[in-house]
């Protein structure tokens, strides 16, 4: 695989991203991989390489670019350190659904312009905060997103949130795959049921599954990383994107 540090110009500035290209001649389908709340870092560069190895041009964006450089988080201990947890949550709140959708338009324009990429639509996948972004983007950008996956994504169908992704179900053209973690307070059973109903009512082809693992299961530098669940997640991505 080839990995490049690239910059994508957005309406709000310049977003640093990690671009990952499969080996061979191409062209290949393109995917945006949204990191979890810890943002773009080495573990997601490794994940970008792995997805590229499956045959996808993969862009991993820094969605915190508006804040400028920041001290990286130790995601293996973040929730045992109150000050660091508060810093993290402040950064999470700085990225609105509108911002995410606006940025996604720029990321898609960049990807489809690459000679290594094929088609006019991309797919998305995301983790934790990025899982919510993946579905939000699919709702805002319609036919520009072919498939959208969320792994241990939180607040995907919150009843009291006007920006909840489930409210955009009627605008989704993508095939949707959601993998929920067991006993995840950020995506309890009632939200799963609400999301399923919204997607069903909108006629969206979708799958919602529960993995017997904790929130964060797919990301190697999380304290709750689960190798078995992580492998299941890679298989699910390959099946989802491979059917398009």
- pLDDT tens figures, 90-100: 999 999 999 99
Domain that holds residue 146: 2-242
Q: What is the pTM of this model?
A: 0.97
Mean pLDDT over all residues of the chain?
97
Asked if residue 79 has pLDDT above 90, the reply is: no
Count other C-beta atoms under 10 Å from residue 119's C-beta: 14
Cα–Cα distance, 18 to 3 (Å, whole number) = 7
Asked if 198 and 157 touch (Cβ cutoff 8 Å), the reply is yes
What CATH number should be reported for the domain holding residue 175?
A: 3.40.50.1820
Count of domains in the chain?
1
Which band of pLDDT confidence, cut at 50, 70 and 90, is reported for residue 183? confident
């Amino acid at each position: 695989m080839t990995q490049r540090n690239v910059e994508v110009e957005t309406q709000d500035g310049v977003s640093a991203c990690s671009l990952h290209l499969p080996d061979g001649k191409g062209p290949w389908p393109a995917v945006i991989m949204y990191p979890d709340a810890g943002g773009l870092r080495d573990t997601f560069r490794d994940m970008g390489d792995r997805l590229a190895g499956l045959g996808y041009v993969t862009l991993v964006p820094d969605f915190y670019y508006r804040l400028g450089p920041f001290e990286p988080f130790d995601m293996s201990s973040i929730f045992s350190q109150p000050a660091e947890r508060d810093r993290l949550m402040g950064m999470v709140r700085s990225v609105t659904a509108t911002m995410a959708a606006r940025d996604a338009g720029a990321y898609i324009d960049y990807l489809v312009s690459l000679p290594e990429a094929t088609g006019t639509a991309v797919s998305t996948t995301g983790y934790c905060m990025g899982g919510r972004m993946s579905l939000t983007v699919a709702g805002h950008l319609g036919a520009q997103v072919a498939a959208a996956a969320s792994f241990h994504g939180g607040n995907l169908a919150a009843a009291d949130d006007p920006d909840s992704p489930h409210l955009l179900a009627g605008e989704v053209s993508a095939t949707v795959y959601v993998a929920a973690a067991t006993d995840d307070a950020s995506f309890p059973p009632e939200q799963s049921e609400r999301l399923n109903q919204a997607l069903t009512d909108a006629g969206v082809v979708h799958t919602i599954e529960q993995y017997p693992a904790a929130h964060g299961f797919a990301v190697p530098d999380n304290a709750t990383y689960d190798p078995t669940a992580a492998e299941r997640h890679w298989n699910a991505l390959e099946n989802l994107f491979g059917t398009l």
